[in-house]
């Protein structure tokens, strides 16, 4: 008789896998003032003026810029809060998230 039973694993997984990180992405638009984008980046992502300015300019020139990576929940919360900060001022500022490869 052919034994079709699965072979038991001989090695138990020991290491816990690291949780996949998620990118927060800043999307360019034509209406949000540059300085406001910088202010939001500093407040929500604890960036210096210089770092925030670079990220803002990159999104402005290329259309998008990765702001930072976090665990899924943190990335989503920060993207929502930062988007909401623009919305509160009537700006279409948008932050999205996506899983890292
Ligand atoms: N493009 C905007 C302007 O010229 C500035 C801006 C930069 C807006 C980056 C959004 O993600 C952004 N006022």
Rounded to two decimals, the pTM is 0.86
Which CATH class name applies to 30-99?
Answer: alpha beta
Q: What is the pLDDT of residues 31-88, one digit of tens each?
A: 999 999 999 999 999 999 999 999 999 999 999 999 999 999 999 999 999 999 999 9
* Residue of 37, 51, 93 to mutate, ligand 1, most atoms within 8 A of C-beta: 37
Which pLDDT score, from 0 to 100, does residue 8 have?
A: 61
Closest-CA residue, ligand 1 atom 12, reads 28
71 C-beta neighbours (distance < 10 Å), count: 13
CA dist 25 → 9, 40, 46, 60, 66 (Å): 41, 13, 15, 12, 4
Pocket around ligand 1: residues whose beta carbon is below 6 Å from it? Answer: 26-30, 32-34, 37, 56, 59-60, 93
């Amino acid at each position: 008789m052919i034994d079709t039973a699965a072979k038991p694993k001989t090695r138990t997984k020991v290491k816990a896998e690291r949780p996949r990180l998620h990118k927060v992405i800043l999307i360019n638009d034509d209406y949000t003032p540059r300085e406001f984008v910088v202010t939001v980046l500093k407040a929500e992502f604890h960036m210096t003026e210089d770092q925030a300015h670079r990220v803002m300019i990159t999104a402005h020139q290329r259309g998008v810029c990765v702001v930072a990576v976090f665990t899924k929940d943190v990335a989503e919360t920060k993207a929502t809060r930062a988007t909401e900060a623009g919305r509160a001022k009537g700006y279409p500022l948008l932050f999205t998230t996506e899983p890292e490869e």
